[in-house]
Every structure is written in C-alpha cells, then in structure tokens.
Amino acid sequence: MKIFCSRANPTTGSVEWLEEDEHYDYHQEIARSSYADMLHDKDRNVKYYQGIRAAVSRVKDRGQKALVLDIGTGTGLLSMMAVTAGADFCYAIEVFKPMADAAVKIVEKNGFSDKIKVINKHSTEVTVGPEGDMPCRANILVTELFDTELIGEGALPSYEHAHRHLVEENCEAVPHRATVYAQLVESGRMWSWNKLFPIHVQTSLGEQVIVPPVDVESCPGAPSVCDIQLNQVSPADFTVLSDVLPMFSIDFSKQVSSSAACHSRRFEPLTSGRAQVVLSWWDIEMDPEGKIKCTMAPFWAHSDPEEMQWRDHWMQCVYFLPQEEPVVQGSALYLVAHHDDYCVWYSLQRTSPEKNERVRQMRPVCDCQAHLLWNRPRFGEINDQDRTDRYVQALRTVFTVESSAASHKLLRKIFKANHLEDKINIIEKRPELLTNEDLQGRKVSLLLGEPFFTTSLLPWHNLYFWYVRTAVDQHLGPGAMVMPQAASLHAVVVEFRDLWRIRSPCGDCEGFDVHIMDDMIKRALDFRESREAEPHPLWEYPCRSLSEPWQILTFDFQQPVPLQPLCAEGTVELRRPGQSHAAVLWMEYHLTPECTLSTGLLEPADPEGGCCWNPHCKQAVYFFSPAPDPRALLGGPRTVSYAVEFHPDTGDIIMEFRHADTPD
C-alpha cells in the first residue's frame, strides 16, 4: 500500500505531495531513534544489570517468586537481564509496535521466550487478572522512561498508574530513586540563546543601536528545555553563582504522584553577579542503599571525570530564568524547581516558599512570538556582533518581503521600537506574487538576505533565498546587486570522538544478541533510494578532520536558479591517520568577493585536526556505510570518493560518499 504525505519543501518553498511506503513513519522513527546510543551506553547497561540482580536477590531472600514488570522494554534488554539474574517471569511492555516485534525476535533468539512475555500496549492499557495481560501484580518494577529532563517522556504518569494497578505495594524498583540537581550561573553566551540584545551598528554617522521591542525584552522565553552536551561548554563561558543543589528526589518504589509541585533550596551566592541560567542534570540510584549510581553530572560536578560515560540519549539541561536578577555574595536566596507531569522550570525567590506549596507560578510561555519563530541558535546568531558587523549596510529605503503573518507582526514591532516604520515597508506576500504596485512602481537595486529560514534543517535548505531571488527577477533593476552574491557547498572527512556511536552496529550488548536492532536501523537508513545526511550541532560533538576541507558546488545568486542539475564528483585524500566516520557538509555565503560567512568550519583545523564549528548552525553529517575497519586505516594513502548532485526542480541535494576501496 502507498500513502501520500504533504510536505513543504524547505528549499523551494513549494508544497509537495510525496508517495511513501505504508511503513514510512516506522522507518523514520527507527532511523532517528537513539537505540544504538543506548545500547552502547555501557555504564547504563552495567548499572541496570547490577540493580536488577540485587532487586531479584532481595525478593528471593524473602521467599517470594520474582515477577518483573518492564515498562518501555524497547529491545527487551532489561527483561533479559532480569531473567538472567534469576527472575521467574517478566512482563515486557512496549507500545511502539515495530519495537515490540523486534523485542519478540530478540527475546526468542536469546532463548527467553518461555520467561518473557512482550505486551504491545501502553502500560496504562495493561490489565491484571485471570483474563488479563498479567495474571497478578508484579513485585519488581523495571523501567527506562527517562529523557534528558528526567520526566519529559511521561515517567510520572506511568509510574503513578503502575503503582496503582500493576505492581504490589512497596515493590522493588529499578531504578530505586532519581535526584535532580541544579546550579545557578551567569552566562552571557547561554543568555544570548534566550534574549534579544541591542544590536550595535557602525555607520558613517556614528554608532546606531537597534533595540528589541519591550515585550520581547520582558518575555520569559520558550517553555521547552534546552538540552545540550554541557561538557562542551567552556568553563570560561559561565560564572558559577551557587553550589550544586539537590532540588528534589523521586522514590520509584513507592506511590508516585504526577501532580504539579515545587521544591525550594536555600543557598548563599558564591559570588556577586547576574542570575540568568540554571544548569540541571539528574542521577538514578539502582538500589535502596544508593551504592549503584548512574549520573548525568557534567565533568566539574562528576565524582570521577576520567571515567565519564559519553551518551547522547541523556544529556544536561539549560533552563533560563524569566528575567536576569542581581545576586550578592553571601545574601541568601531560594532556588525553586517547579514541575508538572512532563516539564520542569525554575525561578529565583528572595523569601522562603511555604513547605509543600503547590505550584503557583505558571510555566513560562512566550507571549512575544519571537521565541516561537526563532530557535535558540537563531537568537545566538542574531546576537553575534561579529556577524552583524559583516551585514552593516547604509540603506535609505528597504522593502522587506515576508510571507509569514507571525514574522510580519514581529518585524513590525522591531521596526516600531526603533522608529523605522516609516522607512521600511513590509510586504506580506509570497515572493512569486509580488507586483509592481507592491513596490510602488520602483525597481529593486539591492536584494538582501541573510539567509535564514525557520523551515530549514540541513545547511542547503537556506538555498530558498535563491528561489526567492529567481521569483522576483523581473523586479530587479539594471545592475541590481544581490547579497549574498553566491554560496558554496563544502565538505570535510572527520573522525568523531563519540558521535559515531549513534550509528554504530550494536552486536553483542552485555552478553545479549541485539543484532536485529542493527538490521532494523540499516533497513530504515536504506529505506530511501539514496542515503541522507543528518543535521547535528557539531560544536557539541568533538571531531578531527582527516582531510582538508574542499568546495563541492557553487551557487550563483546573481543569476536565476538554473534548469539543469549541478553536479560534482571526485576523490579526496585523507591526510591524517584515524578512523573516518563521516563526511561533514556546510554552506558558505559570499556577501561580497572579500566577505564570506561560514555555517561550518570557522577557522582552519589545528595541527591535530581539531575543528572549530559555527555554534549557531547545524552541520550535515553523512555517516559512511559500511563503517571502516580500523585495522585497514593504519597506513598508506587513503581516499574518499564522492558524487553530489543539486536538482533545481526539487531543491534536493543527492549525495554519496564512500571509501575508495569499498566494494559496490
């Protein structure tokens, strides 16, 4: 069966209907999942096994059968650990059918079918009784329902229901307890991801300052958490204002509540400064004594930084206070963690909240529209003064074409706040519908773009600017200047320190065969006729360049989009030793022949190949398949071949990279 999916093409701007296989959603879900990363997380797997084994022993020591309920079983790994540890039976619940089907196969292949029952339901739909999914309640509860924010995947409602309907009172739970930690900091860099700063523009008349509208300044920002690899933020980018504070704990062996709550901690600032950002993470203790612990703490708060486990399925959280507040060293304050059933947020208070006070402060919600239109890297990009300096222009009259009604309103507010509404005319139309009347009979002498579009995911999606330029070609005057004048697609072959794990084969995981997951991921990645690159913010994922960067394609914005494809192919030599995991691609925009903005590498690699990536943009990562054999990469000349095609009719870039000695 075939289905048709509507898609707004991010490059051309047109709406398309694409014919897809009936399993399209399944393939996309698997391809973008973090199952490989989780299965490679040895620290997580070892700690879970130790905790499960201890829980089974405690139940056995009481003379009881060990009956395990595993909510969100995924591959079935934790259920197989439970049976290996001596559990008498395990009920493994998995709501996502393709994963449940895989779990059945993995359990069967490992010889556990007689002791593990996979239930393809949401845990809240599971029934207990003679005719139910489970004949009786379980006495051991095993779960892995956590995200970077701990509760963002619905852990609290799932636990609440399980304790009421599926497990015995005071059951054993693995993990047994979770604790959320927070640290208050001042950070101009991170604060720039949430607030719009005044923009300083040097002109022939002196410095001009563009200010944000009042409601943008006062807006608390987007309500969603900012999850990042906090270990990649330099300590020089923030000032610590508080000790690490344990904010609240959840005992998973007892009845859990999903009701809204708040938890406060008194502290004395370590230094005076501006309270702006709360850094947060959690740990889970697998046993009641807290001897088996798995922590997400960043390196400066970790008990053994040299033994830290890299992971991408769990990272750290950045929360923004609604407004920055001055703090004075030694003057006591209260940091308050609020949460509902799915989200956490923070506030700073001068006086002590009442004990066990229910949440009175509403979850912060953007009311200025800016945080709904621009993501956090976009805020950082707009606040980048060096980037702004490159765009400084002296313009007498500007026509701004903006097809988004929400963007239109936001721009009007910005223009009004800076008394520019009489000099800038916003035309709320799609570019191809622009008329001479809209331009008051004038021809455009300068067509200016950044380019940035909210629909863009991959670097070349911003080529939408080229399609806009083509649509308004008839309105350009003789000798009209287009800026940027051109763009170019660049690439470099890299070795990742850790990111390769998200696409690496799982194979044997803690003694259990999970190769079926590899097959699922491979089928998902090979689903389309050609492989695709993935967007990743590489400033969070250290890598080494093994080749020199090279230019693949050039796009001339001074001319309309061509009718014929643009193609390039060739080979590139790997000049540094290492394991080549992927090709990284990015765009560079040439404002003028002398001035270029890069969305990828910002400077040449250091002698060891270390890379400095644009922190405001995601780069495209094309993982090599099959993965190279490290033993074959120890010496001798090595090359990577590539073939890249830009198709103007669809805006797609089709690519293939492979090691030159890889067989077809």
Q: How far apart are CA 534 and CA 505, in angstroms?
A: 18
Which one is catalytic: 108, 153, 217, 421? 153
CA distances from 562 to 304, 440, 473, 648 (A): 57, 29, 13, 7
Report residue 16 CA to chain centroid gap: 26
Cβ count near 338 (within 10 Å): 21
CA distances from 99 to 33, 72, 96, 201, 237 (A): 11, 10, 6, 54, 41
Query: What is the phi-psi region of residue 464: left when phi exceeds 0, alpha when psi lies from -120 to 50, beta otherwise?
Result: alpha
Tokens of residue 318, six digits: 């950045």
Q: How many residues does the chain have?
A: 664
What is the torsion angle, in degrees rounded to the nearest 10, for the CA atoms of residue 554, residue 558, residue 564 and residue 567?
0
Q: How far apart are CA 255 and CA 169, in angstroms?
A: 8
Q: How far apart are CA 623 and CA 31, in angstroms?
A: 13
Asked whether the beta carbons of 173 and 267 are under 8 A apart, the reply is no
Asked whether the beta carbons of 659 and 582 are under 8 A apart, the reply is no
CB-side neighbour CA atoms (13 Å) of 264: 19
3-state secondary structure of 642: strand
Report residue 180 CA to chain centroid gap: 21
Cis peptide before 175 (omega within 30 of 0): yes
Report residue 158 CA to chain centroid gap: 24
Measured between its terminal Cα atoms, the distance across the chain in Å is 30
Which one is catalytic: 94, 144, 149, 495? 144
In one letter, which amino acid is 536? H
Residue 29: active-site member: no
Asked whether the beta carbons of 540 and 226 are under 8 A apart, the reply is no
**Rg of the chain in Å (alpha carbons):** 27
Residue 186: active-site member: no
Q: How far apart are CA 492 and CA 544, in angstroms?
A: 10
3-state secondary structure of 87: coil
Tokens of residue 92, six digits: 């493994």
Cis peptide before 505 (omega within 30 of 0): no
Q: How far apart are CA 543 and CA 497, in angstroms?
A: 6
Q: How far apart are CA 163 and CA 179, in angstroms?
A: 19
Report residue 580 CA to chain centroid gap: 23
Residue numbers annotated as active site: 144, 153
